[in-house]
Amino acid sequence: MISEVDIKDFDKYQDEAWGTALESARNAAYLYNGLSGEVGEVCSLYAKAIRDGVENHQRFAEQLKKELGDVLWFIAGLSKFHGLTLKEVAEANIEKLKSRQQRNTLKGSGDDR
């Protein structure tokens, strides 16, 4: 299990992020579609870097940080909307990955491996 110290601020972030959500944003339709849009922006940023190259890696990293922050906001919001904490999500993910690692099933596809 991931240690408490490693993820102690996830839930604080989630609460602060949720506190910035407009009332009209506190619904599944907005949160799911918003996440999809923000992931698309991350992918678009990368696609443009492939197409055009990256002249300034620091600027690219700053743009990426902003876009990933938007993705994180939506993940935090979806988790909150469904009664989950980011801590729970992170812990479950690490446990799943460590189990797969121990069973030598990191490669492949499907959640139930």
Q: How far apart are CA 33 and CA 86, in angstroms?
A: 19
What is the pLDDT, as a whole number, of residue 2?
52
Alpha-carbon span 49 to 8, nearest angstrom: 34
Report the chain's terminal Cα–Cα distance, integer Å.
Answer: 19
The predicted-structure confidence for 6-44, as pLDDT tens digits, reads as follows 666 889 999 999 999 999 999 999 999 999 999 999 999
Mean pLDDT across the stretch 80-95?
A: 94
Do 86 and 76 meet the contact criterion of CB atoms below 8 Å apart?
yes
Structure tokens at 4: 């408490």
- Whole-model pTM? 0.86
Residue 74 above 90 pLDDT? yes
Per-residue pLDDT for 1 more than 90? no
